[in-house]
Every structure is written in structure tokens, then in C-alpha cells.
Amino acid sequence: MSATDAQSATMEETLDTKLSSNDKADVETIQLNADENDNVDKDITSAPTGSEGKKKRKRKKKGLVKSQTNPPTVPVSKMFKQYPVGQECDYPVDQDGRTSEWRSTSAEKKAADKSNEKKWSDFRQAAEAHRQVRSYVQGFIQPGLSMIEIVEKLEAASRALVNENKLEAGLAFPTGCSLNNCAAHYTPNNGDKTVLKYDDVCKIDFGTHVNGRIIDSAFTVTFNPKYDKLLEAVKDATNTGIKAAGIDVRLGDVGAEIQEAMESYEVELDGKTYQVRPIRNLSGHSIGQYRIHDSKTVPIVKDYDTTRMEEGEVFAIETFGSTGKGFIYEDMECSHYMKNLELGNSFVDIKLSRARKLYSFLNEHFSTLAFCRRWIDRLGETKYMGALNYLCDHDIMEAYPPLCDIPGCYTAQYEHTVILRPTCKEVVSRGDDY
């Protein structure tokens, strides 16, 4: 038997076997290597049935993998029996001054929480994969890399760590790597030669999912310290929104808190001072199973929306800050697409044969998840743009072009996924980085 990596204790036991008068037993020794984290390997020799004994085949059971590779290739499912719980927080005090402490002790709420444990576990598995991938990205990203190289390395690691399996687990949406005045929805198409530069402000926004339980989390990368205040403002605004979120909280009130936090910051760039402005026509959102944008939006400015957050819902709390107008418009070449969710599972009558085949292909591989042109290329499809445009023109698929503020300004983003559990609020994507 081979020794394990952890310390092991070896015990010897002697088996005395009673035989007939014609035969006499040989004493055999069994060694057991025990390890608290690994399964025990056993080499057992059976009692002889005559002049010779017959050995059983050795069984080896693999234990948990203790460390990740670089680049990451080990699925997190092989590293954990139970996935790490995110940051657990109390809900805010309600309007009557009542705290949420009762939720953590209520037998009814505890039972409701436990009944959803499988769902929470799926979110936590996807979140752990996200944390490990972004740690890897933060280690290698640097000026001079092409945007294609950055996103492909990130996506390869995400696929490996979440153990991609068709629609059961994989990437939840295309990797956003929007630069400078572009705030969201930019990922390079094949052939894009864009290279990351020292003075760029890059938003890394990517998602993982397990059984359609989506983790949507984003951070901003800069190399020039002059942008530090911009990043600080947006990170503070996101954390303020997370703190304000809770069961029965009005969405408009969350937006007001976010706006107040972000607008308290100024950033000086090249001798000019800018107030950091929330991008008012971008927002956070609720997340459904296999639906990155569900029915509710979380504004990042003061709003009179009285819609309330509810127990059991999942939200992406994300904020965008800008040194520009604080208002975005569609610009640049489109890369992001998604099925029109209003269609549901209804039959879609597509008259163009090529478009009908492409729709079937996209439905099979992505269903209601967002996708990009690089992913279609990766799966071997060619000469599909005419059919894709047809599907978009007929509102079967929807295009999501890059979203940009005025040229010359800079935008930043931070985002976390938050579960409104019956007993507490869990920032499931929280990590040591942000």
C-alpha cells in the first residue's frame, strides 16, 4: 500500500484462522493506513482454502483534492464535500424598529432554510468556482494581453472548475471585459485585436451556474493608481446596496442608498476633478433559474419604485460609476445575444430554413442563458450571421450591444449575488478580494 500525503497511523492485526488437521494456517498481517480526510485503502488477504490463499484485488478510493492547479483545472466538486457558505448578514431593521434576530431562531424559518439546502448548495458550488477563477485572473491579467486571450483563459478555467456538463453546469453568460467609457456587454468577437493597456479601466463581469443557479459577480481591474478613488466609490456603493437589501425592502430605497454613497466621492484625473456618478439607466436585478435577468430591477439611483424584495429571492446587487454623463447608450459591434424570454417554451414558427436550424442549435446549447458569437464559433457553427440577424429581426433572439457613456470618460463596476434566505441574507459570491 502507498502512503497518503497526510500523517497516517499504521496498525497491525493478526488473523488466526482455524483450519482442519490436514492444513495449518499461516498468519497474515493486514496494514491499515488511516487518514481523516481520505478514504481508507485496504489490502486484505482472504483465508487460504487449501495449500494456497487467494488474494482479493486491492480497492483504491480517491479522496478530496487538497489544492488547485495553476492554471485551475480541478473541479471544485472534487475539493469539497460541503461548499463554503458565503457571507451571512442580518437583515436591516424594519420600519417598525424590529430587528431580524427572530429569523435566526425561528423553527419555522430554520425548516424553510433547510428545505432549500440543495438549491443553496448549487449556488455555493458555482460561487466557489467563481472565486477561484477570478483569483487566477487577478494573478495573470496585465497590460499587453489581448482581450481574446484574457477571456478565453478565464472561460477555460470556469468550465473546468464548475465541471461543465451541457445545461447542467457551465458558463452563465459571456465574459464581459468592457473598457473605459464602455460600461457593460463587451466581449471580443473572434478577430478582435484589442489589447489591454496600462491606462485602461477594465470591468471583468462573468457568471457560473450549477443546475441553472447563477452566480453573477463583477470587479474592476486597473493598473494606474489614479483610478483608485473611482473604484473605491463603486465598491462602497455596491456594499451599501448589499447592506440595504432585505426581505420587504423597497427597491427604490436601495437605489437611494446606493446613489448617496457613490456621489459622496470625487476622483481627480489629470488635474481635473470629477464627481463619481451612478449610471442611472443601468441597474441590478433579480436572478431566476437559468434566467440572468428575472422580473425585478434594483435601481442605483433614487427611485419611487415601491416593489419589495421577497424571501427566497436572489439578486445581483451591482453598481456602475462614471466620470462622464452617468448615462449609457448602445454602441460598437454586438457580441451578446439571448433568447427572447417572453417566448417561453412555445412553438416558434421560423420560415427561413437556415434560421430554423440555428434556432434549434442555440436552444439546445444555451436555452435561456445568454451567449456570444465566440461560443457559437467554438461549437463549430460557421456562416451563421445572416440567420442570427433574422432571428433578432423577428424578436426570437435579442441582441445586447455594448453599453457606453461618453467617449473619454471612465466607468467602473462591482457586483455580488445575494440570496435572501429565510434565516439571513447570504452574499454567496463574497471573497477575500471584494
Please list the pLDDT of the chain residue by residue as tens digits (434 residues).
Answer: 433 343 333 333 333 333 333 333 333 333 333 343 344 343 333 334 444 445 556 555 578 999 999 999 999 999 999 999 999 999 999 877 889 999 999 999 999 999 999 999 999 999 999 999 999 999 999 999 999 999 999 999 999 999 999 999 999 999 999 999 999 999 999 999 999 999 999 999 999 999 999 999 999 999 999 999 999 999 999 999 999 999 999 999 999 999 999 999 999 999 999 999 999 999 999 999 999 999 999 999 999 999 999 999 999 999 999 999 999 999 999 999 999 999 888 889 999 999 999 999 999 999 999 999 999 999 999 999 999 999 999 999 999 999 999 999 999 999 999 999 999 999 999 999 99
C-alpha cell at 161: 472548475
**Cα(182)–Cα(409) distance, rounded to whole angstroms?**
9
Q: How far is CA 333 from the centre of its chain?
A: 25
Predicted local distance difference test score (pLDDT) of residue 303: 94
Predicted local distance difference test score (pLDDT) of residue 97: 81
Predicted local distance difference test score (pLDDT) of residue 61: 54
> pTM here?
0.86
Predicted local distance difference test score (pLDDT) of residue 96: 77
Predicted local distance difference test score (pLDDT) of residue 77: 98
Backbone angles phi, psi at 29, to 5 degrees: -105, 135
Question: Which residues contact residue 375 at a Cβ distance below 8 angstroms, ignoring those fewer than 6 apart?
Answer: 171, 174, 365, 366
Is the Cβ–Cβ distance between 40 and 32 less than 8 Å? yes
Is the Cβ–Cβ distance between 387 and 355 less than 8 Å? yes
**Cα(290)–Cα(166) distance, rounded to whole angstroms?**
13
Is the Cβ–Cβ distance between 221 and 211 less than 8 Å? no
